[in-house]
Chains A and B, each alone.
Chain A
Amino acid sequence: MKHHLSEEELTGYALNLLTDADREALDQHLQDCPACHAALEGHARQQARMQAQLQAELAARSPSPRMTFAAIAPAVRRSRRVSRRAGVLEFFRSYGSVIAAAVGVILAAAAVLRNVTWPLLGLQQNASLSLPFAAGIMLGVPAFSHYGQNRLQRPPLPWIWVAAMALWLGTALLGLYEIALLRDVLLRAYLRFGPPSSQLLAQAEALGSWGVFFMGGVWVALVIGGGEYHYHHVGQRASWRLFAWTVLAQLALLTLPLLV
Chain B
Amino acid sequence: MSDTVALIQDWQAGNEGAAEALYNAHRSDVYRLAYALLGNAEDAEEVAQDALTYALVNIRHYAPERASFATWLHTITVSRCRDRQRRKRLVSFSLTEWLGLGRDLSDPAPGPEASAIEAERREALLQAMQELHPAVREALVLRYWAGHTFREIAEIMDCPLPTAQSRVRLGYQQLRAALREERA
Partner of A75, one of B53, B122, B141, B169: B53
Answer whether residue A34 sits at the interface, using C-beta atoms and an 8 A cutoff.
no
Residues in B with CB closer than 8 Å to A69 are: 19-20, 23-24, 27
Contact with A along B18-40 (1 / 0, CB 8 A): 01100110011001100110000
- The answer to whether B57 and A15 touch across the interface, beta carbons within 8 angstroms, is no
Answer whether residue A150 sits at the interface, using C-beta atoms and an 8 A cutoff.
yes
Answer whether residue A123 sits at the interface, using C-beta atoms and an 8 A cutoff.
no
- The answer to whether B27 and A63 touch across the interface, beta carbons within 8 angstroms, is yes
- The answer to whether A150 and B79 touch across the interface, beta carbons within 8 angstroms, is yes
- The answer to whether A236 and B158 touch across the interface, beta carbons within 8 angstroms, is yes
- Chain A: minimal CB distance from B7 (Å): 13
Interface size on B, residues (CB 8 A): 58
How many A residues touch the partner, as a band?
A: 35 or more
6 A–B pairs (Cβ distance < 8 Å), ordered by A: A17-B150, A54-B129, A61-B35, A69-B19, A69-B23, A71-B49
What is A's interface to B at a CB cutoff of 8 Å? 7, 11-12, 15, 17, 46-47, 50-51, 53-64, 66-67, 69, 71-73, 75-77, 79-80, 83, 87, 150-156, 232, 236-238
What is B's interface to A at a CB cutoff of 8 Å? 16, 19-20, 23-24, 27-28, 31-32, 35-36, 41, 44-45, 48-49, 52-53, 56-58, 60-63, 66-67, 71-72, 75-76, 79, 108, 110-111, 114, 121-123, 125-126, 129, 141, 144-145, 150, 155-156, 158-160, 165, 168-169, 172-173, 175-176
